[in-house]
Structure 1
């Protein structure tokens, strides 16, 4: 399966460099692979073991090789490649603030991460989530009937990070963090190769639900989702804190991952090109802090 993304810098649709693409296709499209997925790869112990390796000094050489093999832009880093202590130190790297400038509009909504994005004007009416005719179950995702009712007919941004990306994420809006809740689960891949087979992996994965109250009283839910080899989701703000758009919200440790941002009905309007591509669905390549839409 070819994974295509739209690159706004070139104005072209490009094929994504998917890490271990053939292995993902085997796990999520082959009966034997499905057995391995169920017994090993979705389990926390597998990602925990990978995480242990990524924290060892011996993994530093793999980080340097990974940077070189994938031509990751070293000039964005605040450290030199040889200064990383281990693979996770590289993976959770900081980058220079000036390379991810914040869009200037007073009502702007930012992209929360370097990611591939899909946006939907009305969650309840959309059926183009990574594959045609896949319905998104908001109540199962949020694990809260009342909260799901509040966000019914709201708009949503799905931001998918791959292992090549900068894995710190930023606030996409300003407001007050009023609640946070961890939701336990497995660690399936969030790559379209997997999600095109079963969108419910988003509902089954480990995730952290954050609720941000906007200045106009509307609510935004920011849900950080773990995935295969991502057993750790770290948030820097505490409940009750005032948060500012563009500030670093937290980070994922080693692996691919995903952020789902949901706005109440009538609170947000996303970029028209982003909405149009999402209906295909073709993901929109973003850099953290660039504009994704506007608050209404």
Structure 2
């Protein structure tokens, strides 16, 4: 019953018109009246923000805020992979032979997520992370490694929730939602950075120019809370033993270690 009611509510509210209305309101000066209460309800750390709260005139401006220089130091070890976002690690693990990953006890197909079996094949027996950004989080996305962008493509049109209830009861939001995929290569191995839109707001804006990525550099931002999925090619990644799910993590903090093609 709980699952049915949850899905019914989402289907009734997940409409393009409601999405557009919410997005328009968030960009309006009227939404600025809610900034103070929003910051209080979601416990936003104002000491980290590039500007003071009074300088943000709309909720949209607050959502995509930048942080002060130096408040997110990036792990300096050249062999590490770092978190691209401030988030909660909702799940992590090995990608199965059938191109599935198990998230909150539910199977998700990375072939559907990436758009084809061919695109998913390099990641079979690889590793995945699900990084969830709530409305309280900093919404800018940074590169987890230094490498070269080989391919970038968008899929999907839905905007189901990607929080814990969405992952457990939703209609496969990691596979169906609007998503922007960036495939990066480094040292002969590849990594897919899958940026997934959330309920009501499907806005993912790219800010990086060129093909070269540097670990810790900004590459995009979400207009609202959402999710980033990292897919590592088999044999390319070893998770840091301190990392468990669920746990909070910030941009630049170590997720694990990158293995180049020539490494055993």
Q: Do both share a fold (TM > 0.5)?
A: yes
1:118 CA displacement: 4.1
Distance 1:140 1:33 in 2: 23
Q: Which segments of 5 or more consecutive residues in structure 1 lack a partner in the other structure?
A: 1-27
Distance in 2, Cα, partners of 1:175 & 1:208: 18
Alignment TM-score, normalising by the size of structure 2: 0.91
Q: Which residue of 1 aligns with 2:195?
A: 224
Computed over aligned residues only, the root mean square deviation of the Cα atoms, in angstroms, reads 1.9
Output the CA distance in 1 between the equivalents of 2:6 and 2:164.
17
Give the Cα separation in 1 of the matches to 2:147 and 2:51. Answer: 31
> 1:207 offset after TM fit, Å?
0.4
Contact kept in structure 2, 1:57 and 1:86, CA below 8 Å: yes
**Cα distance in 2, alignment partners of residues 31 and 184 from structure 1:** 23
Say if 1:119 and 1:270, in contact at 8 Å, map to a contact too: no
Is the Cα contact below 8 Å between 2:108 and 2:174 reproduced in 1? no
How far off its partner does 1:237 sit?
A: 2.3
The 5-angstrom pairing of residues 57-76 of structure 1 reads 57-76=29-48
Q: Within 2, Cα distance between the matches of 1:100 and 1:117?
A: 17
CA drift at 1:199: 6.8
Contact 1:121 1:270 in 2 (8 A): no
For 1:245, the equivalent position in structure 2 comes to 215
Indicate how the Cα distance of structure 1 residues 266 and 121 shifts in structure 2: closer, same or farther if over 3 A, else same. Answer: farther
- Residue of 3, 11, 19 corresponding to 1:38: 11
| Residues 9-88 of structure 1: pairs in structure 2 closer than 5 A | 29=2, 31-41=4-14, 43-88=15-60
Where do residues 1-296 of structure 1 align in structure 2 (5 Å cutoff)? 29=2, 31-41=4-14, 43-118=15-90, 120-124=92-96, 128-130=102-104, 132=105, 134-198=106-170, 200-214=172-186, 216-238=187-209, 241-254=211-224, 256-274=225-243, 277-278=244-245, 283-296=246-259
Shift of 1:197: 1.8
- 1:30-88 CA distances to partner (integer Å, 9 max, x unpaired)? 645533321332x3332221110000011112112111233311110111111102000
Q: TM-score, normalised by structure 1?
A: 0.82
Distance, in Å, in 2 between the alignment partners of 1:293 and 1:102 is 13
Counterpart-to-counterpart distance in 2, 1:45 and 1:168: 26
